[in-house]
Structure 1
Amino acid sequence: MRPLRNPVIQGLLSWTLAQWMQFCFATIRWTRENQPAAEAVWAKGGGVVCAFWHSRIALAPACWPLDRATPAKALISLSADGEFIARAVARQGFPAVRGSSANKDKAEKAKGGTQALRDGLKQLKVGALAITPDGPRGPARQMAEGLPVLAKLSGAPTLFIGLSCKPAIRLNSWDKAVLPLPFGKGAIVWDIADYPEGAELAEVVADWTARLNAVEARADVITGLEPTA
């Protein structure tokens, strides 16, 4: 039996990761840019799609203050790793909508795609849905169509969120995932868009990929985190 498929190990690791994340978030000195875009969403309430690249998933809870924000859920894959991450994120106040926004080579049914789409649209009627549009296995920073499709069908705005911190641990994973370390610099940068009426899906994917790259690059400049190749 693989360790990450053991419920006891999953629970222990997710609890440990959640505690570590909370400690780091509390001690990091955060810089926030274009926060009014997010403030407007929080004040209005209702549905919003929140997008950040998979490598920054461990920083994501820092961008969504639970004391003033619309309720949020996270779209996380139906893999063993997804189960572990789902538990850690849920401990931060973000229960999961299970499924995947990428990996077209696997059957949609096997990845929970159809059910995730239905559940995602249901969530977007009342609150926020967080998505890593290059997850769960990449390629890194290549947006799958699931994000703009959800935005188009729901009519909800999309928040592009750039997240960064330094010092940080950079994992040797497909996405070069960033794990926070305490007492450092952190940055959160927001941008916002609606699905443009009449636009071709491929055009939106290209534009939104560039916008998400831009906010992440800006966050890295603020913190001084070195970009990956």
Structure 2
Amino acid sequence: MRPLRNPVIQAVLAWLLAGWMRFCFATIRWTHQNRGVAEAVWDAGGGVLCAFWHSRIGLSPACWPLDRAQPAKALISLSPDGQFIARAVALQGIPAVRGSSANKDKADRAKGGSQALRDGLRQLKVGALAITPDGPRGPAREMAEGLPLLARLSKTPVLFIGLSCSPAIRLSSWDRALLPLPFARGAIVWDVAHYPEGAELTDVALAWTERLNTVEAAADAITGLERI
């Protein structure tokens, strides 16, 4: 039995991870670039999609000030690992919308994806929805069509968020995920877009992949983190 399938172990580890992340975020020296585009979206209120690559999910709560921005939820997969991440993120004030297109069973995949789409659109009527558009299984830094589809249907702005921290723990997962270390140097870089009228989902996914890579590379350049 995998440890993360045990609800007690999962809850304890999620609590420890959330506490570690809060401590790190409080001690990291943060640099913000182009934050004005995010502040304009926060001031406008309403729905907004927030996108960052899956490898930076461990840094993501640092980019969303709960006392300043819209209330947010995170789209997190239905897998046991996704439940673990959902618990840790929820402990930092960002509850989850559960769903994914990567479940093994085709029927479950369709059911979970459809439910996540409905719940995501419902959330976008009142606040923010955070998405890792290459998750939960990759390929890393390749955007699927889920984010552009949500943007087209909801007509909400999309914030591309580049997150970086150095030094950091780099896991051996498929995406080489980062976990923060205390007293490190951190960076958050912003960009914003709307779904282009009449554009194809595939074309938008390719264009937005480049934009998300650009802000992440800019954040890594600030912190000095080696890109893989």
Give TM-score, length-normalised by structure 1.
0.97
Shift of 1:2: 2.1
Shift of 1:106: 4.9
Q: What is aligned with 1:53?
A: 53
In the superposition, relative to structure 1, how do residues 89 and 108 fare at CA in structure 2: closer, same or farther (>3 Å)?
Answer: farther
Q: What is the RMSD of the two structures over their aligned residues, measured on CA atoms?
A: 1.2
Q: Which moved more, 1:111-120 or 1:16-25?
A: 111-120
In the superposition, relative to structure 1, how do residues 41 and 106 fare at CA in structure 2: closer, same or farther (>3 Å)?
Answer: farther
Q: Say if 2:59 and 2:164, in contact at 8 Å, map to a contact too.
A: yes
Q: What is aligned with 1:170?
A: 170
Q: Deviations over 1:57-111 (max 9, x none)?
A: 00000000001110000000000000000000000110000012x4387526346
Shift of 1:226: 0.4
Separation in structure 2 between the aligned mates of residue 154 and residue 140 of structure 1, nearest angstrom: 26
SS of the residue 1:67 aligns to: coil
Percent of paired sites with the same residue? 75
Q: What is aligned with 2:184?
A: 184
Q: Say if 1:108 and 1:114, in contact at 8 Å, map to a contact too.
A: no
What are structure 1's unaligned runs of at least 5 residues?
none
Which structure 1 residue ranges, 4+ long, deviate > 4 Å from structure 2? none
Separation in structure 2 between the aligned mates of residue 49 and residue 80 of structure 1, nearest angstrom: 24
Q: Say if 2:34 and 2:191, in contact at 8 Å, map to a contact too.
A: yes
Q: What is aligned with 1:197?
A: 197
SS of the residue 1:160 aligns to: strand
Q: Which moved more, 1:105-114 or 1:175-184?
A: 105-114
In the superposition, relative to structure 1, how do residues 108 and 181 fare at CA in structure 2: closer, same or farther (>3 Å)?
Answer: farther
1:1-229 map, 5 Å:
1-100=1-100, 102-103=101-102, 106-107=105-106, 109-110=108-109, 112-228=112-228
Q: Say if 1:103 and 1:138, in contact at 8 Å, map to a contact too.
A: no
- What letter matches 2:64 in structure 1? W
In the superposition, relative to structure 1, how do residues 88 and 207 fare at CA in structure 2: closer, same or farther (>3 Å)?
Answer: same
What are structure 2's unaligned runs of at least 5 residues?
none
Q: Say if 1:187 and 1:220, in contact at 8 Å, map to a contact too.
A: yes
- What letter matches 1:200 in structure 2? E
Q: Say if 2:167 and 2:225, in contact at 8 Å, map to a contact too.
A: yes
SS of the residue 1:73 aligns to: strand
Q: Say if 2:78 and 2:103, in contact at 8 Å, map to a contact too.
A: no
Separation in structure 2 between the aligned mates of residue 63 and residue 16 of structure 1, nearest angstrom: 20
SS of the residue 1:62 aligns to: helix
Give TM-score, length-normalised by structure 2.
0.97
Q: Say if 1:70 and 1:128, in contact at 8 Å, map to a contact too.
A: yes
